[in-house]
Amino acid sequence: MTDRLSFDEFVKELENARKPKGSIKHPFSVAWANGELTREQLGMWAIQHFYYIDAIPPQFAALYSRMPDMEGRLMLLDNLIGEDMPDAPGKSHPQLLLNFAA
């Protein structure tokens, strides 16, 4: 069994794991940054991205219920609220993508 990481160690490991996976140099990202995508291409991206982010709130909620670390739970809860935007109907990330794709 491995030792449990401290919160700071966990965040550092998470950031290090993500670094090589960035999409900033992907041709689609470059074309977007250069204003070279059509409205149809952006709309299709939004539709595809919707299916990715629509599943995030339930996943975060399940993870939240299993996290033993209070600081980590609060960080995740803040992110979950930002995804669903309960105080601002129509402003959840999935809804914003649907509006963008329309």
**In the chain, what are the domains?**
7-101 (1.20.910.10)
pLDDT in the model for residue 88: 80
Is the predicted pLDDT of residue 21 greater than 70, yes or no?
A: no
| DSSP summary character for residue 20 | G
Above pLDDT 70, what percent of the chain?
Answer: 95
Range 34-44 average pLDDT: 94
Indicate left, alpha or beta for 5 from its phi (over 0: left) and psi (-120 to 50: alpha). Answer: beta
Residue 59's H or E segment, with its range, is: helix 56-66
- Please check whether residue 31 is in contact with residue 37, taking contact to mean a CB–CB distance below 8 angstroms: yes
